[in-house]
């Protein structure tokens, strides 16, 4: 199941905190599509996923937002 998390206009560390809150609520192998504007997510989210054992499936930089697709693992 794909879930969407809108963290646009939120600055570090809030996108990471919101992802942590949402990932606890979804099932294993579900994905979360994050919509962000803080360029820090390009580094923070992959690092957080590596520490917590989740996977970044996609990072797409658009003109007005950054889209990340995160998969919950175990």
- Which pLDDT value is given to residue 53? 98
- Which pLDDT value is given to residue 46? 98
Residue in 6, 11, 12, 60 annotated catalytic: 12
CATH code for the domain in which residue 50 is found: 3.30.110.40
Is residue 6 included in any domain, yes or no?
yes
Is residue 73 included in any domain, yes or no?
no
Kindly report, residue by residue over 23-72, the tens digit of the pLDDT.
999 999 999 999 999 999 999 999 999 999 999 999 999 999 999 999 99
Is residue 74 included in any domain, yes or no?
no
- Which pLDDT value is given to residue 74? 87
Is residue 9 included in any domain, yes or no?
yes
| Residue 12 annotated in active site | yes
Structural domain range at position 35: 2-66
- Domain total in the chain: 1
Kindly tell me if the per-residue pLDDT of 1 is higher than 90: no
Is residue 71 included in any domain, yes or no?
no
- Taking the alpha carbons of 25, 32, 54, 30 in that order, is the dihedral positive or negative? positive
- What pTM did the predictor assign? 0.95
Is residue 54 included in any domain, yes or no?
yes
């Amino acid at each position: 199941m794909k879930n969407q998390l809108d963290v646009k206009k939120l600055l570090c560390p809030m996108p990471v905190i919101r992802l942590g809150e949402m990932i606890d609520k979804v099932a294993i192998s579900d994905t979360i599509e994050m919509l962000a504007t803080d360029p820090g997510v390009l580094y923070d989210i992959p690092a957080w996923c590596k520490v917590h054992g989740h996977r970044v499936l996609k990072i797409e930089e658009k003109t007005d937002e950054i889209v990340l697709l995160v998969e919950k693992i175990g």
